[in-house]
Amino acid sequence: MKQLLASIAVVAICSLGWAADPANQKEEGFVQLFDGKSLNGWKINENPESWTVKDGEIIGKGKRSHLFYMGDDKPFKNFELRVDVKTEANSNGGIYFHTKYQDEGWPKYGFEAQVNNSHGDYKRTGSLYDVVNVVETHVPDNQWYTETVIVKGNKIIVKINDKALFEYAEPKDLKPGEQFTRKIDQGTFALQAHDPGSTVHFKNIRVKRLD
Give residues with Cβ within 8 angstroms of 186, minimum separation 6: 75, 76, 77, 98
Q: Which residues, 6 or more positions from 7, have their beta carbon under 8 angstroms from its beta carbon?
A: none
Under the phi-then-psi rule, with left for phi > 0, alpha for psi from -120 to 50, and beta for the rest, what region is 75?
beta
Domain ranges of the chain: 32-209
Percent of the chain with pLDDT over 70: 88
pLDDT at 144: 98
Question: What amino acid is encoded at 109 in this protein?
Answer: Y
Q: What is the mean pLDDT of residues 105-110?
A: 98
CA distances, 104 to each of 20, 29, 100, 169, 202 (Å): 38, 33, 12, 30, 21
- Domain spanning 32-209, CATH architecture: Sandwich (2.60)
Residue type present at position 88: E
Quick: pLDDT tens for 129-178. 999 999 999 999 999 999 999 999 999 999 999 999 999 999 999 999 99
pTM of the full predicted structure? Answer: 0.88
